[in-house]
Amino acid sequence: GDSVTQMEGPVTLSEEAFLTINCTYTATGYPSLFWYVQYPGEGLQLLLKATKADDKGSNKGFEATYRKETTSFHLEKGSVQVSDSAVYFCALSDLGGSSNTGKLIFGQGTTLQVKP
């Protein structure tokens, strides 16, 4: 079945450091890919998305490119801030895939802590 694998956390960085969180997926068809963020004590927010190969999603300085050839959707940010400390989830939608229900399949989440 479809699955998403994220790099293990936690990731601890100093402010203004470069961030990469790796995400790879296994899916049939052509899923849409997402990054969601969960700030401490808050709900899940959409950070960015890409719906087809080579699309780049971007928001708040974060970027991720849908790479079909490597089945990856790595999250990057050039200069992190303390306020970016959160848990980041990579996910895929099964729309256009084998079950086509619209449900999301999540990776295990990566905790990012940014120190001043």
Partner 1 sequence: SAVISQKPSRDICQRGTSLTIQCQVDSQVTMMFWYRQQPGQSLTLIATANQGSEATYESGFVIDKFPISRPNLTFSTLTVSNMSPEDSSIYLCSKTERQGGTQYFGPGTRLLVL
With tokens 């200069």, the residue in question is 79
Pick the stretch among 16-24, 63-71, 77-85, 100-108 that binds partner 1 (CB under 8 A): 100-108
> At closest approach, how far in Å is the CB of 20 from partner 1?
19
Residue 107 binds partner 1 (CB under 8 A): yes
Shortest Cβ 51–partner 1 spacing (Å): 5
| 70: Cβ contacts below 8 Å, ≥ 6 apart | 24
State the nearest-atom distance from the C-beta of 70 to partner 1, in Å.
Answer: 21
Q: Are 94 and 103 in contact (CB under 8 A)?
A: yes
Q: Which residues lie closer than 8 Å to 39 by C-beta, 6 or more apart?
A: 45, 85, 86
CA dihedral 77, 73, 58, 78 (to 10 degrees): 10
Residue 2 or 17 having the CB closest to partner 1: 2
Site for partner 1, rule CB under 8 A:
31-32, 34, 36, 42-46, 49, 51, 89, 93-96, 101-109
